[in-house]
Amino acid sequence: MTVCLAVSLASCNGTTDTNANTSNNTSINTKSDTSMVGAVQTPQLSDSTTRSTEHLNKSLKASQKLVSLTATFHTTDNDKDWTTQIGSTVRLNGHVVGEIFCCSADRKDDHYDDNTDSPPIYLNISEHPTKDELNGSIYEITAMEVKGGTDEWHFDARLNAKFDDGSQRNWTFLKQSLHSKSGSREGIKFDLYKNHD
């Protein structure tokens, strides 16, 4: 049995009829066109479009600039006196990124009783590193008595960073303590790269 492809049917029949070839080719083309009706075509991106998309993605990642730093404290089993001033500072390569000294002016609100949470404390931002750059920074918490006397404070510390692309990063430092006295600021430091959640 001889098997012939449609495109060479005329040759198999022993004829060189041009019309037969044309007829067969037309039939093949018509069938092919009909089979494509309703098919979903996937557009192919040009090299320039692909490069532009990659550049946009890199630009979005590069724009992850710091916009805010927020500190919070959960006092555990030893309260903070209202006269104890808290310092919260983030430094990168020796430069202050964000800093605040607070929480020693109000006899009621600035006393952190046992098993209570502080309100959010917003650091003043002076630099805007990227999320990746912030990995190399140091967070320091300090305490000092501003009215005389001494104080011992036990707490869990949390730090939140927000970036201009809407992303966030959080750090938690459990079971910390500071002993403060008048005229002397005691501090503890944390490597944000090693400790982030």
> For residue 141, what are its two tokens?
């918490």
Residue 188 has pLDDT above 60, yes or no: yes
Model confidence pLDDT, tens digit, residues 86-119: 999 999 999 999 999 999 999 999 999 999 999 9
Tell me the whole-structure pTM to 2 decimals: 0.69
pLDDT band at 29 (very low <50, low <70, confident <90, very high): very low
Comparing CA positions, the residue from 156, 157, 168, 142 lying closest to residue 69 is 168
pLDDT band at 63 (very low <50, low <70, confident <90, very high): confident
- Of 51-55, 117-121, 140-144, 152-156, the one with minimum mean pLDDT is 51-55
How large is the average pLDDT for residues 2-24? 44
User: Across the strands, what pairs with 130?
Assistant: 65
What separation in angstroms does the CA of 77 have from each of 5, 103, 144, 155, 175? 89, 19, 19, 8, 10
| Domains contained in the chain, CATH given | 1-33 (no CATH), 64-195 (2.60.60)
Residue 65 has pLDDT above 70, yes or no: yes
Those residues whose C-beta lies under 8 Å from the C-beta of residue 11, and which sit 6 or more positions away, are 4
Q: Under DSSP, is residue 124 helix (H, G, I), strand (E, B) or coil?
A: strand
The pLDDT value recorded for residue 27 is 44
Owner of token pair 């990124």: 97
Those residues whose C-beta lies under 8 Å from the C-beta of residue 129, and which sit 6 or more positions away, are 65, 66, 92, 97, 137
Residue 157 has pLDDT above 80, yes or no: yes
The pLDDT value recorded for residue 187 is 97
The pLDDT value recorded for residue 116 is 98
pLDDT band at 193 (very low <50, low <70, confident <90, very high): confident
The pLDDT value recorded for residue 102 is 98
Query: Three-state SS across 32-50?
Result: HHHHCCCCCCCCCCCHHHH
Model confidence pLDDT, tens digit, residues 116-130: 999 999 999 999 999
